[in-house]
């Protein structure tokens, strides 16, 4: 699979200076963690889940979570588990290309039980999403994952969700973060990425952000995101990929504030696309994706297919970013110094900007580099209409 693999080779050639690379479920963890992109959640109880998975794969999705936790009622768990076993068998029989598939469980015992029940179709499973992750709960989940991995005879990843009230509360946050850090570091080879449960954060204080606002506008949430990145997202080799919070809006709502999308990038034929984005409350999503990136997050939790292509379009590395990164990482410049960018609009400091450049090159590998005259509008339009 590859990002933008659902569009024609000719269309990709017209968009990319460097095309996204190909990868699969057996690719190195470092590559997969950067390649997750928009991770679409779906209730495990959906009766035609196999069809849904293949449909979304055909539209460019590369990672998907089949949820047995908050997206279904407590009384539906057993039915959801049985449905997953049936749907995985269905997918296995079709021998079609699937996205990276993860199961979000409620309890550690579900991990070993489901792996046993999946049988040979476990080959389609990339891992598990672990809810309300703390040191105490996390060790139990990760030990269960290690047992399941041995039984399955294949690599299985964990994606812990950081969403517990103890992480949100100021008096316990530092110790909870230290405990989470100890746990994920111990099981580093199995932890693909850390996910943020912002809806649960808001719930602890009876809050819900409006469609005109981002998670970062809710200051108590923004503060937690900053602390999580501070402890768990460092660029010194100890950090993990941390994914952006869910955007929960996907239909027209009455607006209190004016649209956030400027008209200029959409001049000409793309004005209709701008109108569509605004009508579906996706201008706020685009703003939040940009803030995710600025705050050190990569990828995003999604609950609606309409969110996938905006996430991917804004994950592509611009030609200017790539040019700066290459200049900074050019052999022989390890000693430091300051360079004027090739675009002559900024300075590039070799030592301070090196970690940024390395992350940019990593993102460029999996999402590609746009041509000099190609922006997110062209990338988004191609992903939606090809």
What is the DSSP annotation of 111-125? HHHHHHHHGGGGGGE
Question: Do both 378 and 304 map to the same domain?
Answer: no
The alpha carbon dihedral of 116, 160, 76, 122 has a sign of negative
The answer to whether 383 touches 309, Cβ cutoff 8 Å, is yes
Domain residues for the domain of 367 are 1-20+316-386
Residues 349 and 296 in one domain: no
One domain, residues 298 and 155? yes
Pair (210, 334) in one structural domain: no
Binding positions are: 171, 200
Please check whether residues 219 and 202 belong to one and the same domain.
Answer: yes
Domain boundary among 315, 330, 363: 315
Contact between residue 153 and residue 142 where contact means Cβ atoms under 8 Å apart: no
Reading the chain (386 residues) residue by residue, the pLDDT tens digits are 999 999 999 999 999 999 999 999 999 999 999 999 999 999 999 999 999 999 999 999 999 999 999 999 999 999 999 999 999 999 999 999 999 999 999 999 999 999 999 999 999 999 999 999 999 999 999 999 999 999 999 999 999 999 999 999 999 999 999 999 999 999 999 999 999 999 888 888 999 888 888 999 999 999 999 999 999 999 999 999 999 999 988 764 444 444 555 555 555 555 655 555 555 567 889 999 999 999 999 999 999 999 999 999 999 999 999 999 999 998 877 677 888 888 888 888 888 899 999 999 999 999 999 999 999 889 998 988 64
Looking at 277, 300, 315, which one is the last position of a domain? Answer: 315
| Shared domain check, 153 and 6 | no
Burial class (CB in 10 A: 0-12, 13-18, 19+), 89: middle
Phi, psi of 102 (to 5 degrees): -125, 150
User: Is there a single domain that holds both residue 162 and residue 292?
Assistant: yes
- Is the C-alpha dihedral spanning 272, 273, 276, 278 positive or negative? negative
Q: Output the known binding site for Mg(2+).
A: 171, 200
Q: Rounded to whole angstroms, how far apart are CA atoms 267 and 299?
A: 28
pTM: 0.91
Q: How far apart are the first and last CA of the chain?
A: 17
The answer on 324 and 311 residing in a single domain is: no
Same-domain check for residues 350 and 228: no
Q: Indicate if 188 and 67 belong to the same structural domain.
A: yes
Please count the structural domains in the chain: 2
């Amino acid at each position: 699979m590859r990002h933008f693999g659902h569009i024609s080779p000719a269309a990709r050639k017209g968009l990319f200076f460097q095309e996204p690379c190909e990868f699969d479920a057996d690719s190195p963890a470092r590559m997969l963690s950067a390649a997750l992109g928009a991770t679409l959640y779906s209730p495990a109880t959906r009766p035609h889940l196999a069809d849904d998975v293949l449909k979304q794969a055909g539209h460019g999705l590369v990672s998907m979570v089949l949820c047995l936790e908050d997206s279904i009622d407590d009384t539906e768990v057993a039915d959801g588990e049985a449905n997953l076993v049936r749907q995985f068998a269905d997918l296995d029989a079709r021998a079609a290309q699937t996205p990276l598939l993860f199961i979000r469980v409620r309890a550690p015992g579900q991990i070993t039980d489901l792996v046993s029940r999946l049988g040979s179709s476990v080959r389609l499973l990339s891992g598990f999403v672990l809810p309300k992750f703390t040191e105490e709960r996390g060790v139990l989940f990760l030990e269960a994952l290690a047992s399941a991995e041995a039984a399955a005879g294949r690599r299985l990843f964990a994606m812990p969700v950081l969403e517990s009230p103890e992480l949100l509360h100021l008096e316990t946050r530092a110790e909870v973060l230290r405990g989470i850090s100890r746990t994920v570091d111990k099981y580093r080879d199995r932890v693909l990425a850390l996910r943020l449960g912002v809806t649960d954060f808001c719930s602890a204080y009876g809050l819900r952000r409006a469609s005109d606002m981002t998670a970062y506008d809710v200051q108590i949430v923004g503060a937690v995101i900053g602390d999580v990145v501070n402890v768990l997202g460092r660029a010194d080799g100890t950090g993990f990929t941390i994914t952006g919070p869910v955007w929960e809006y996907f239909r027209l709502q009455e607006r209190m504030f004016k649209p956030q999308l400027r008209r200029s990038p959409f001049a000409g034929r793309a004005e209709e696309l701008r109108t569509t984005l605004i009508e579906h409350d996706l201008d706020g999503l685009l703003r939040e994706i940009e803030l995710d990136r600025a705050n050190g997050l990569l990828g995003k939790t999604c609950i609606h297919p309409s969110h996938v292509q905006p996430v991917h379009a804004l994950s592509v590395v611009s030609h200017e970013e790539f040019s700066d990164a290459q200049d900074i990482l050019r052999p022989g410049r390890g000693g430091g110094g300051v360079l004027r960018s090739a675009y002559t609009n900024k300075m590039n400091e070799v030592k301070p900007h090196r970690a940024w450049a390395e992350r940019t090159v990593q993102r460029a590998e999996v999402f590609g580099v746009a041509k000099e005259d190609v922006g997110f509008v062209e990338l988004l339009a191609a992903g939606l209409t090809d």
